Structure 1
Amino acid sequence: MDTQQNTALTRALAEIPGPLPTSGVIHIAIPHTDRFTVVGNHLAQHPDLSCTAVGIAVRIQSLPQGIEVGIKALAARCREGEKRIAAALRELEAFGYLQRVRDRLPSGRVITRTVFCNQPTALLHPRSPAPARPHAPAPAPAPAPNPASERTGPSEQPAPEAPAPLPVPPPPPLLPQAPPFVPLPPSLPLVPSPTAPKPPPRPLPRPSELTPELDRAATVLLSDLHRHAPQFTLSETDVRQLVPGVAAWLERAARPDAIRHALTDDPPVPLKRPALLLKHRLTELLPPSPPGIQELAALARRPRIAVTPFQTCDDCDRAFRSPAPGRCRDCREHRTEDVRAAA
């Protein structure tokens, strides 16, 4: 049995003027009569917008005014999740298609309006108000026939009356001139666009000098990781690539058990590339260099604050601060008053 051909498609292809291309897409353009939305090529072929953002923009543009277009409302209408929809909305905000403005109602309530513009570049040029159409003058009423003139003969025709003046139409009401259109300020994206270039990764730290002792200690530590965490089984190539990073940690006086704990603690499940995770942790969790001898000597030379010790009063046994033992201030005052009274 032969493959069934689509006669409607064959007939539509035959109606396309000119020769058909041998490769690429072939368009069959059927004019829409209802339920259609006009989308500009500046949006459909935007070089910096993702396909998800273009699709969300077309979906928002096809909705009537007053429909909710928040993240949860769009997630209920589309198959994309809330994260992808939120990222697409941020892209549209970055390029001016979508804007959120705060407005105050007459009641004093402040609301946020979501504005979608199908041509953001047109907002940069102020639009002039449309000119008012002049009112057409009303047609003059036709004169009513006079029955007396019909009964009189041609020799007894009355004198012609003066024509009545045409009514002057009232002047058209003055339309209030629209204020100049001020484009809304473009909102800044809260997070970088998914299409933004990412910064290059930081290089693996290296010691100031990779001595044989540091190389041997780092190799032993990396080769022994699988005994403490079986998912960190490394190849010989991975060990040789990660040795400079571990040596940099050892040079900074990090203990081997502390390095092992920092590298293998709480790994993701499942762990697909253990060497890449170790490289990331060796780079991002690198401890600071220990202070040198000069820094420690400067810290030791800092002046110390002298603290006056506590003493116990010989008369009342109350504690007070004094460089030498004796009596407190109250006991000294009482003793002075007793000596004066006896004198």
Structure 2
Amino acid sequence: MPATRSAFNNARRGLPIHSRRRAHARCSNNAALSVKTTEIGSTAWVEFATKASGEYEGQAVRFDPNSGAALPLDDSIVPDAYREWGVELVDRQANSHSIASDDGIRLLTRLVYPAVGCEADAVSFDSTDRTVLRGHNEAKTILPNGAFSAGCRILPEDAFTKMLMECAIPVSYSTDEEPEEPVRYRFRHQLNGRGVLYVEVIAEQRVAADYKSANLAEPLPPSTCCAPYPEWAPKEPPSDGVDADALSTASAYLTGYWHLGDGENELGEPILMLAGTHDVPTCPMSSEHLVALGGPHNAFHGVHYEDDDTLHVVAGLESHGWVSRKYTKGRLEHICMCAY
């Protein structure tokens, strides 16, 4: 396996080199996690920021929202050599920067165009730069293990306006020799008022502290020479789908449930209030609305518009947790975050 290309792991900067070896996934016992005060500056925010911040490398795959099959990359970004060799690409290398601050957490995500060979000095990429979980004195939908849920609180009135909802679910790995850096799955739903345009999942591993903590002026550019992230090899979703009943029994492990409170925050959004777990609903969808995604850890998602103008969005990993958002008449009603 090629060595990890991350200047953050360069010995000249005195940062550790992390192994890329994988062990079997180990379910984290996070049922005892509790979230009380989660605004910026709170103990919960500091714990979350410590886990979520960092430089990440991994792979991104877009899935058909109806079948769950991995979608091939657009021909316009795939080199001719791959087609000549009969190779179909479904994943793109992801280079991400998560930086927590007094303004929320910045997610700078760069998806690399595939290249033939190692072209570290001639890399092209698409970039998105978002700051989420913004604002003070409001409940942040976060967990101390680095999980979060981010998205609009009021749906656009224009049915054609695109909206991006994003959540992250950590996965714990370890080896017999030493623990590895955290791995997380980021689910990104691109929707409009008429349905799901696509669902994208980024499986990424933290390779170093964020660039600001490393005393660098700016993020380093991605490279096509990073070590591969091999888990996306299976393209087809599991034939047995998703067991919604099994997910519903996980309500006893829910570590965060936010519902709408009175008033608005400084951004004009409904205030979210943390509720006791006895108020938590079970998994909001039946199996017919949950779609298993191709790849590891039994990833799944679901987006369901009901006749009463209610929207449910859910995503997760069967063995690690799930996040759901519910909108009623265009306003966010609650968010559930479950850690197994």
TM-score range, shorter chain: under 0.3
Which is helix-richer, 1 or 2? 1
Greater strand share, structure number: 2
Of structures 1 and 2, the one with the larger relative CO (CA 8 A, separation 6+) is 2
Larger radius of gyration: 1
